[in-house]
Structure 1
Amino acid sequence: VFSKSLRAETTNKYFRTEFKKEVDKAEKSRRISLFLKAIYFMNLIGLLCGQIYVSRKQSRGDYQCKSITVIIKDEVWEESVVKVPGKDVEKMVLIYPYFNGHYNQDGSSHDGRPVYVEQNKFDGTEFNTTSPDPVHIRVKVPARIKYCKSIRAWVFTHEYIRKSNSTRDDSDCPWLLRSEETDVFDIEEVQGPW
């Protein structure tokens, strides 16, 4: 019914210039919102990466002192016992100032905190843990300072020395001296007497 020429004329472009579609305010607002969310997300990722980096270094002990100097007051414990493997239990007087000196981190940890190990008093090096004649020459075993989560305190311990011959010890921490209850990570922040 309609001819081809009429159909061609009605479908031809009427204007020679094309008008750009105007961006409405809602679309512009949505784009700004997406941009701000992207910036927020990038900031969040940056902060989380920084926190993970610092937390890993902190858990490895990179931000802690590697060495401490211990000075214990002139105190004596007269009822201590020494339990050397392969020998009888000996009752001995424990003189605390004997353990004064330098203690270094040995790289190990106990309950998520570093362990400080007593060093040689003469030159500040680690104790020799081998003996040319183990039967007659005793190896010096160093004292340790570590944190015990079970009693929530930093403790001074020795592998062979106990405060008494009692079979009941304070969990895994048979301490010779201990701090007040604390949750601090760094031993330098411990407050109060031991």
Structure 2
Amino acid sequence: MFIAVCTIGWGLHVTGHLPGAVTSLERASKATFGKLTPEENQRFKDAISTLKGITDSRQTYLLKSYLCGEERQELGIQTPNQLLQEQMKHPGWMLSLGAKGEVTFTEEIEDLSPQCKQKAVFGIDAGGNLSLFNGAPGKDNVIRTFFQLNIKHLESSLPVETVKQLHKGIRISDLDEYYSVLSTFSDYAVEETERAMTRP
């Protein structure tokens, strides 16, 4: 009798039907929930709702979205249950469905991608914007544009060498250098210089 009760109890616990039973997956998810913003929390709930509507296996990808660059990784064909488990394990990942039904999880990473660490260069694009390039500055290899620079103010305020370096391209290889360059040149953004000129 005791063995039968234990066996039934264990079966209910494993399937999650025992009152108060919490699977390790749910525990992990709840622990992570505390770290989510209200917006991320809502996005997570929407993703779970979408995934619960999927009834067939889907080709699945993980897109790692860095501050500079992206990497796409194939996760293979996943069942509806595997997709749900993947999202529960990573509540911060964003979910999107492609035109052919493929599932993409996007992980936002506050770092430079390995490729960017090898090749990223800050410079000025043809429109006078501070931009990040994949290699030497040129119109065909802009990765990201940040803000319009007040070139006259920049050239009159900074040493000639610094200005030349920016036109030629400033190589960065890590997050500290990335933020350092952004911080240095943000003072010369058109909006910033206009604001400074209108101050009493």
TM-score, structure 1 as length reference:
0.17
- Give 1 or 2 for the bigger CA radius of gyration: 1
TM-score, structure 2 as length reference:
0.17
Q: Report which structure shows greater RCO (CA 8 Å, sep ≥6).
A: 2
